[in-house]
Amino acid sequence: MSDLYRSALSARISKLPSLASNEDEDDENEEADSLGSLPGSGMGPPAMQVTVPSRSLDSRVYYTAPASADGTVMVCHHGAGYSGLTFACFAKEIVEMTRGECGVLAVDARRHGKTLSTSEKVDEDLSIDILVDDLVGVIQAVFPDPASAPTLLLVGHSMGGSVVVRCCPILLQHHYRITGVAVLDVVEGSAIEALPHMHSLLNARPDGFNSPEEAIEWHVTTNTIRNAQSARISIPSIVVPNPNPKGVLPYLWRTPLRSTAPYWSSWFKGLSSTFLTARTARILVLAGTDRLDNELMIGQMQGKFQMVVIPGVGHMVQEDAPTRLAEIMVEFWKRNERVVVGIKKVGDA
């Protein structure tokens, strides 16, 4: 990023509690991506578009490779409406804490971020099976040979948690090495119970914004994201210029959550049982202790997974507390990737 561009960008956003980038204006926005902490965010290799012909996708990924060929990569999938940049600050912490032994691959799901459909048909489907096949396809495109691929640790937030737990058995069948699966702040029972109230909750969200800076400010002032630094990086990727030049609001949501309503049930139904039966180490990270459903309560008492509660954060745990979450995940990784021979991994049957 040139000094001139940095100066112009800083002047433009000086009124905000954080740095902001105005995405989707091609060259300038590729520069703006470099404000994050994933590759493509100034901290490593540039963001990449990965072609997945079998899925008719041109997928945006942010990838920091591990320092060694036998390292581990945390594969991160975001929640509905967000993008891979939601893991930017978390990724930076992971790489620094592990001194590069653990890399991070964060993806933009279809209809999110800069992932583009290459199909001639309009395909709005965001059902769970579609999202799972998409992520498997991206992993196979990035790591085509399971034998030489790094060990994978799957991390998913909210909707993304449901995606990664369902990807786990498929990847194992394809002979990828999976050292663990981490679900961030989503539980089947509470998610299903909340669905009837979602439209009411969405009524409190603005339909759009006057600028990306205003979108950042809204997320921070409403405590939707409690970390202004992370919001500066992640939020510009989830709003787009209004295609209607006469529209009241210059910027709209890239992925309006109301448009995903037909798929909500598919995302969360069966999540608990799928998580508990994943044939790898399992960890559930929550923002509150009152979110376990009965199936997970029983599983926890039986020692089937590790659970950690992070106090003082909201639903966006990876953005609100990236350092604390990274500490948790690095500890989980070390325990299960470098486990002493003969000692069962956390969550092993």
Hey, which residues are catalytic here?
158, 185, 315
User: Could you tell me which residues are beta bridge partners of residue 151?
Assistant: 72
What DSSP letter does each residue of 110-175 carry, written as one string? TTSTT-EE--SS------HHHHHHHHHHHHHHHS--TTTSPEEEEEEETHHHHHHHHHHHHHHHTT
Closest CA to 279 of 186, 344, 184: 344
Q: Which helix (H) or strand (E) holds 59?
A: strand 57-64
Do you know the residue count of the chain? 349
Q: What is the DSSP letter of 23?
A: -
Report strand pairing: 102-107 vs 72-77. Answer: parallel
The angle, 0 to 180 degrees and rounded to 10, between the axes of the packed helices 159-173 and 128-142 is: 60
Phi, psi of 282 (to 5 degrees): -135, 140
Q: What is the DSSP letter of 250?
A: S
